[in-house]
Amino acid sequence: MQILHFDIKPHNILLDENFVPKVLDFGLARLCPLEESIVSLTAARETIGYIAPKLFYKNIGGVSYKTDVYSFGMLLIEMASGRKNLNANAEHSSQIYFPSCVYDQFSEGHNIEMLEDATEEESKIIKRIVIVALYCIQLTSSDRPSMDKIVAMLEREFEC
């Protein structure tokens, strides 16, 4: 069986005394067999700012674990930046959705410096997290990686 959480966000993840993350609040979760990669939903169930784009549509139909991958990507962007992924008080509409700003910086070849005093090693780690996060928040769910692939990308050494 697999769990589709449908509400991955910072408030639902705690760290234990060894800094091992623990996912909480399974109130929106669905349990389904591993061989069923898609479940049916009739209404959006996630938190704004972490909800996958497909869940905004009226007739949602089938969704998969890739919905949780999207939410995890949004969480990674917040971790890398130290700020919320939505800014309702932004002066310009382009600043409201923070991942757009990150993507624009990244695609233009700018360094993504989220921390002012980051060491070179910390900057590399932040860049890796941002790359993985952008991969996770692809608009098309089939373009998003599996969680196994995400873990591998975050754990292994690769050139950014």
Q: Is residue 24 in a domain?
A: no
pLDDT given at position 46: 59
- % the chain with pLDDT above 90: 27
Domain span at 107: 38-155
Instruction: Give how far Cα 116 sits from Cα of 81, 119, 150, Å.
Output: 11, 9, 26
pLDDT given at position 63: 73
pLDDT given at position 156: 82
Q: Is residue 123 in a domain?
A: yes
Q: Is residue 79 in a domain?
A: yes
- Give the CATH number, domain containing residue 123: 1.10.510.10
In the residue annotation, 68 being an active-site residue is answered as: no
Q: Is residue 18 in a domain?
A: no
Three-class SS state of 115 = coil
pLDDT given at position 159: 56
Name the pLDDT band for 85 (thresholds 50, 70, 90).
Answer: confident
Name the pLDDT band for 33 (thresholds 50, 70, 90).
Answer: confident
Instruction: Give how far Cα 73 sits from Cα of 86, 90, 139, Å.
Output: 14, 22, 12
Number of domains in the chain: 1
Computed over every residue of the chain, the mean pLDDT equals 78
Quick: pLDDT tens for 114-134.
Answer: 666 778 888 888 889 989 999
The reported pTM is 0.78
Q: Is residue 23 in a domain?
A: no
